[in-house]
Amino acid sequence: MIHRCNEIIPEHNVTKAEVQEMIDDAIRQHNRNASMISMVLGIIFFALFADGFFRVIGMIPPFLGIDVNIIKEVVREVIEKIQS
């Protein structure tokens, strides 16, 4: 490298092909990272959805005393409709 008055001048300029390769590498890395983040978020949201669904249908017991099971109410309503 040549130094001229506090200025650093590289030995060679970056070519158009090198710049394109750097851009492609950055895009590839971004897409990989975005895919990993999306995958993790998708798994988390699916797990939370499944947990809520199983609590509503009564397969998982209530959490912190909050009972969201609707199956008992649905069965009671159906029995009332059949009996009347």
Q: What is the pLDDT of residue 52?
A: 87
The region of weakest confidence among 6-10, 21-25, 31-35, 73-77 is 6-10
Report which of 62, 64, 44, 65 is spatially closest to residue 54, judged by C-alpha positions.
Answer: 62
pLDDT of 21-70, one tens digit each? 999 999 999 999 999 999 999 999 999 999 988 888 888 887 777 787 88
pLDDT at 75 over 90: no
> What pLDDT is attached to residue 2?
55
pTM for this model (two decimals): 0.63
Separation of CA 19 from chain center: 31
Provide the 8-state DSSP code for 63.
B
Q: Which of 83, 65, 81 is nearest to 73 (CA)?
A: 81
**Which sequence spans correspond to the domains of the chain?**
14-83
